């Protein structure tokens, strides 16, 4: 599935950090209910404040963001250091 978004994310490392708010976690779990699906996209996660920061495999990050957009789950690309 190739992304057709104009604002594609161009990864520079092995993973790309994407954050969603804890308030939207229930919606997220409805989309990513299958552990195999989570393992396909997500390499790690960290809860920081009122956000969950997911480390997404860089070759899958645009597909992951497309799924979030299709299901109206707000997200943001983490550019700053978060660990």
Q: Please tell me the pTM assigned to this model.
A: 0.87
67 falls within a domain: yes
Number of domains observed in the structure of the chain: 1
pLDDT tens by residue, 30-68: 999 999 999 999 999 999 999 999 999 999 999 999 999
Three-class SS state of 1: coil
- Give me the CATH number covering residue 64: 3.30.70.2250
User: Is the pLDDT score of 6 beyond 80?
Assistant: no
10 falls within a domain: no
32 falls within a domain: yes
Q: Residue 68 has what DSSP assignment?
A: H
β strands within the chain, DSSP E = 15-21, 42-48, 51-57, 76-77
26 falls within a domain: yes
Decide if 62 contacts 9 (C-beta within 8 A).
yes
8 falls within a domain: no
Structural domain range at position 53: 15-77
How far apart are the C-alpha atoms of 15 and 52, rounded to whole Å? 15
Nearest of 83, 16, 23 to residue 54 by alpha carbon: 16
1 falls within a domain: no
């Amino acid at each position: 599935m190739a992304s057709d978004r104009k604002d594609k994310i161009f990864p520079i490392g092995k993973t790309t950090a994407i954050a969603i708010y804890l308030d939207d976690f229930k919606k997220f779990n409805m989309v990513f209910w299958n552990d195999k699906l989570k393992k396909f996209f997500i390499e790690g996660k960290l809860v920081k404040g009122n956000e969950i920061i997911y480390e997404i495999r860089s070759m899958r990050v645009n597909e992951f963001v497309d799924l979030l957009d299709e299901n109206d789950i707000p997200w943001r690309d983490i550019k700053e250091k978060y660990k």
